């Protein structure tokens, strides 16, 4: 039976009539975008075409509001093998015997789905980011997560947090991918707008890299398009559009269909079968003849149109050839649903049967998961038109470029102007905890460290498998950035070569974004880079996820632009330690708009660790002296201390070129001192300031301490960001080294294993009581 495709009568319709048509068909287009779609097509669109433009024209898929701003980020460098052009970026790890080993590195968000269905939303986020890595030809070796939840005291947020954490574990663990690190933050602005950002990494030799665009000869040879994996169903349909709108929790049931259903066991089978296929094709010299792409937002449509448009080609797609998991699915759903655990291949015709046999027979997909298989769905054309048919009817015929970039827009914006006050800290702020300041301050600090944003995180990461694949050297529980040795199982390498590894981190306090998106973005970059340096790493690249508000509101669009400028300035002005002439590049990233919480750039940094056997963690040892590197500032706007005391206002960090130069010089000094073997442990001053960072070192090591912090003002103790606390067994030599380098360092005291007391001059705390509160602060909530 011939299919009858609905035509949407948009031409000559009034704005009211167009809006009614858009609403009736669940199309996330504005009236002006619908009119532009008609102009591009030169006629009324079919339902399938309108669905395609709605999905590909969303912020999530096309970056229609953000592309111009993202071009301000540095993306090139001597260690960049592949920048942010495809599903993932690639940075050089090392070169051995003329062969470069690259780390495939990507960043994604699954914010809206995780708010609606926490377990499934977070789980499919992990699955999607791992597929982004695999489709570049890499073996997936790890993932990280950046989690932001609302007020920790609200039961709803606790339930969401538990669901998200379980979802991450429930996918990554059976997938056999270690969860290497991440961070978690609770802030009331995220009530109803959870952020789940995920990062993944993979290992690939440069000669084995695959690409997500059809090769130059793809059209003349009429490359075939093959879909591999789970059958199309309704799950996830409209997910890209759903991620590009303000989530209405009152319509939760309606939104459930936009959340995909996870199957990590099928994905594990997929990834293993890919590695086997890559090995076969490499042996026959055919590996570089194929292209592949993960199937995420927009499903088969998005993957296939982007594969061909990136090469300037078009495609012919036959929807009836797509394997489905439900009967009577409309063609626009078959084509555009975001069913998980799928990839799209572009292969030359002489390899088509080999690829189909590989998945359907050798790896027996139909018997591994119901309906799973590999299907040929179409072919590449020289004509740059994306043409789709269903049962003999043309349901889409549009220029591929119009689909992927036809609805770009320059939105009006209003840049934010931070409102600062003279609000600060004094001893009176702590007297509710005791009659005299030393007693009150000591009691406050015990309570302070039990706050959800400062307490022990083991309740989260104990659910994750952190050491599967046996390449993790330093875990998140003992290190500022996880340290990994991905070459350990490369049998053809020497013992020294196998010690070459990397460190990877996540940074970005969401509180700073409340007053200054610029400061938040810049500090996210700096904190992520410092964490990599703190373990002995040499930063080489970054990824980001930019979580901001509704771009249709000029004030929110202004906050986004301000935040991106902060991220860009941080990257441009913090140079590589290995080459001070090179800015730190972003090689991958993601933009997630329509979010209701504070503007939040979450940044991940990657660095090479030349010898993982000498990398250092953040756990002090008995008898070691504690030093502060650098000087402390006194700005307290949007900090944990102000939140704990329910204070608002204050001064924001004044970021300038001089600020970046000072931070960079501290990092350079740190690495020089690290190379001389001065440090036994180090920690980056982050949320809660120097005082929280110090107390966390005490709890992680279960050490007492004798020293003096009274030389610092209260604001200096709690100001956040930009600084290191380090321990050494050579205090006199280290102090002499710092003086020669012109870097200010301050001796704070000595850690003592047998002491029950943490004595800091202006406070005296029971080690046992502090440890008990720190260990239970987050566990009681989650």
CB 390 within 8 A of CB 320: yes
pLDDT band at 253 (very low <50, low <70, confident <90, very high): very low
Known catalytic residue at 759: no
CB 737 within 8 A of CB 694: no
The predicted pLDDT at position 520 comes to 98
The predicted pLDDT at position 244 comes to 47
Q: How confident is the model over 635-643, as a mean pLDDT? A: 97
Q: How confident is the model over 477-499, as a mean pLDDT? A: 95
The predicted pLDDT at position 60 comes to 79
CB 456 within 8 A of CB 775: yes
The predicted pLDDT at position 255 comes to 44
Q: What mean pLDDT, rounded, does the chain reach?
A: 94
Q: How confident is the model over 267-294, as a mean pLDDT? A: 96
Asked whether residue 764 carries a pLDDT value surpassing 70, the answer given is yes
Q: How confident is the model over 573-588, as a mean pLDDT? A: 97
CB 527 within 8 A of CB 605: no
CB 388 within 8 A of CB 317: yes
Residue 248: is it exposed, middle or buried by C-beta count within 10 angstroms (0-12/13-18/19+)?
exposed
User: Which of 726, 516, 727, 722 lies closest to 634 in space, CA to CA?
Assistant: 722
Q: Where is pLDDT greater, at 238 or 306? A: 306
Tokens of 502: 């990397």
Catalytic residue among 107, 110, 323, 759: 110
Instruction: State the DSSP H helix or E strand holding residue 62, giving kind and residue range, or none if neither.
Output: helix 59-62
Instruction: Tell me how far apart the alpha carbons of residues 648 and 636 are, in angstroms, rounded to a whole number.
Output: 9
User: Which of 504, 506, 492 lies closest to 538 in space, CA to CA?
Assistant: 504
pLDDT band at 242 (very low <50, low <70, confident <90, very high): very low
Instruction: Tell me how far apart the alpha carbons of residues 151 and 138 are, in angstroms, rounded to a whole number.
Output: 39
Asked whether residue 239 carries a pLDDT value surpassing 50, the answer given is no
The predicted pLDDT at position 437 comes to 95
Tokens of 664: 């960079």
Phi and psi based region of residue 159 (left: phi greater than 0; alpha: psi -120 to 50; beta: remaining): alpha
Q: How confident is the model over 532-555, as a mean pLDDT? A: 97
For 699-712, how does the pLDDT look when each residue is reduced to its tens digit (9 = 90+)? 999 999 999 999 99
Q: Which residue has the tokens 């429930």?
A: 170
For 64-73, how does the pLDDT look when each residue is reduced to its tens digit (9 = 90+)? 899 999 999 9
The predicted pLDDT at position 262 comes to 85
Asked whether residue 287 carries a pLDDT value surpassing 90, the answer given is yes
DSSP secondary structure letters along 440-465 = HHHHHHHHHHTSTTTS--HHHHTTS-
Known catalytic residue at 323: no
Between vectors from CA 213 to CA 379 and to CA 39, what angle results, nearest 5°? 75
Asked whether residue 245 carries a pLDDT value surpassing 60, the answer given is no
DSSP secondary structure letters along 261-303 = ---HHHHHHHHHHHHHHHHHHHHTT-GGG-EEEE--TTHHHHH
Q: How confident is the model over 584-605, as a mean pLDDT? A: 96
The predicted pLDDT at position 246 comes to 55
pLDDT band at 59 (very low <50, low <70, confident <90, very high): confident
For 320-351, how does the pLDDT look when each residue is reduced to its tens digit (9 = 90+)? 999 999 999 999 999 999 899 999 999 999 99
The predicted pLDDT at position 234 comes to 87
Q: Where is pLDDT greater, at 138 or 239? A: 138
Lowest mean pLDDT among 396-400, 491-495, 665-669: 491-495
Residues with Cβ within 8 Å of 477's Cβ and at least 6 positions away in sequence, in order, are: 457, 458, 461, 700
Asked whether residue 241 carries a pLDDT value surpassing 70, the answer given is no
For 370-385, how does the pLDDT look when each residue is reduced to its tens digit (9 = 90+)? 999 999 999 999 999 9
The predicted pLDDT at position 237 comes to 64
The residues with which 682 forms a beta bridge, in sequence order, are: 726
Asked whether residue 513 carries a pLDDT value surpassing 90, the answer given is yes
Instruction: Tell me how far apart the alpha carbons of residues 25 and 45 are, in angstroms, rounded to a whole number.
Output: 13
E strand intervals along 50-194: 80-82, 89-96, 99-109, 139-149, 179-186
pTM of the model: 0.95
Radius of gyration for the chain, computed over Cα atoms and rounded to the nearest angstrom: 27
């Amino acid at each position: 039976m011939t299919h009858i495709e609905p035509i949407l009568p948009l031409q000559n319709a009034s704005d009211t009539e167009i809006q009614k048509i858009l609403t009736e068909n669940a199309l996330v287009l504005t009236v002006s975008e619908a009119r532009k779609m008609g102009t591009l097509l030169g006629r009324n669109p079919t339902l399938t075409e309108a669905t395609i433009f709605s999905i590909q024209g969303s912020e999530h898929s096309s970056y229609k509001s953000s592309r111009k701003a993202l071009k301000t980020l540095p993306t090139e460098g001597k260690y960049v093998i592949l920048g942010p052009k495809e599903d993932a970026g690639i940075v050089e790890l090392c070169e051995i015997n003329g062969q470069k080993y690259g780390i495939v590195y990507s960043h994604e968000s699954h914010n809206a789905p995780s708010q609606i269905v926490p377990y499934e939303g977070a789980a499919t986020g992990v699955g999607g980011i791992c597929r982004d890595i695999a489709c570049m030809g890499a073996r997936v070796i790890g993932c990280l997560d950046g989690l932001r939840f609302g007020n920790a005291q609200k039961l709803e947020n606790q339930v969401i947090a538990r669901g998200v954490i379980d979802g991450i574990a429930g996918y990554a663990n059976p997938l056999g991918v270690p969860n290497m690190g991440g961070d978690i933050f609770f802030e009331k602005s995220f009530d109803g707008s959870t952020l789940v950002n995920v990062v993944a990494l993979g290992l690939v030799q440069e000669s084995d890299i695959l690409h997500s665009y059809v090769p130059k000869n793809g059209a003349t040879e009429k490359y075939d398009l093959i879909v591999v994996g789970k059958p199309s169903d309704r799950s996830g349909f409209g997910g890209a559009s759903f991620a590009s709108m303000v989530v209405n929790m009152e319509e939760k049931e309606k939104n459930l269909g936009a959340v995909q259903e996870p199957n990590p066991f099928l994905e594990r089978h997929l990834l293993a079968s890919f590695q086997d296929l890559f090995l076969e094709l490499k042996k026959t010299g055919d590996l570089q003849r194929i292209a592949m792409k993960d199937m995420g937002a927009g499903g088969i449509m998005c993957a296939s149109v982007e594969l061909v448009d990136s090469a300037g080609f078009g495609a012919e797609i036959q929807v009836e050839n797509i394997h489905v998991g439900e009967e009577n699915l409309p063609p626009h759903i078959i084509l555009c649903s975001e069913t998980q655990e799928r990839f799209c291949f572009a292969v030359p015709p002489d390899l088509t049967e080999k690829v189909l046999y590989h998945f359907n027979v050798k790896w027996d997909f139909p018997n591994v998961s119901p309906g799973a298989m590999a299907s040929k769905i179409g072919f590449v054309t020289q004509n740059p038109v994306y043409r789709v048919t269903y049962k003999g009817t043309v349901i889409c015929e549009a220029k591929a470029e119009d689909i992927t970039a036809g609805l770009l827009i320059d939105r009006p914006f209003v840049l934010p102007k931070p409102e600062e006050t003279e609000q600060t800290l004094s001893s009176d702020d702590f007297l509710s905890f005791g009659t005299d300041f030393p007693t009150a301050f000591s009691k406050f600090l015990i309570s302070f460290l039990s706050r959800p944003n400062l307490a022990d995180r083991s309740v989260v990461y104990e659910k994750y498998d952190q050491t599967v694949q046996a390449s993790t050297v330093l875990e998140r529980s003992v290190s500022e950035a996880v340290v990994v040795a991905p070459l350990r199982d490369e049998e053809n390498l020497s013992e020294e070569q196998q010690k070459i590894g990397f460190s990877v981190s996540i940074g970005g306090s969401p509180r700073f974004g409340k007053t200054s998106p610029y400061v938040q973005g810049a500090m996210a970059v700096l904190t992520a880079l410092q964490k990599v340096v703190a373990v002995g790493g040499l930063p080489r690249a970054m990824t980001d996820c930019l979580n901001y508000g509704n771009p249709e509101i000029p004030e929110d669009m202004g906050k986004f632009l301000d935040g991106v400028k902060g991220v860009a300035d941080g990257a441009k002005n913090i140079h590589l330690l290995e080459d001070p002439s090179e800015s730190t590049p972003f090689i991958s990233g993601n933009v997630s708009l329509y979010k209701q919480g504070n503007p939040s750039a979450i940044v991940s940094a990657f660095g090479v660790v030349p010898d993982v056997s000498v990398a250092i963690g953040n756990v002090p040892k008995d008898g070691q002296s504690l030093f502060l590197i650098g000087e402390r500032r006194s700005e307290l706007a949007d900090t944990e201390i102000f939140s704990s005391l329910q204070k608002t206002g204050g001064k924001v960090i004044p970021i300038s070129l001089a600020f970046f130069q000072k931070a960079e010089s501290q990092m350079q000094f740190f690495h020089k001192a690290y190379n001389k073997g001065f440090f036994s442990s180090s920690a980056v001053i982050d949320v809660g300031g120097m005082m929280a960072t110090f107390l966390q070192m005490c709890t992680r090591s279960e050490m007492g301490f004798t020293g003096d912090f009274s030389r610092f003002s209260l604001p200096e103790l709690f100001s956040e960001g930009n600084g290191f606390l380090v321990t050494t067994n050579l205090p006199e030599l280290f102090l002499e080294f710092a003086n020669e380098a012109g870097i200010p360092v301050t001796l704070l005291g000595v850690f003592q294993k047998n002491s029950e007391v943490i004595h800091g001059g202006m406070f005296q705390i029971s080690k046992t009581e502090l440890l008990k509160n720190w260990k239970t602060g987050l566990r009681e909530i989650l």
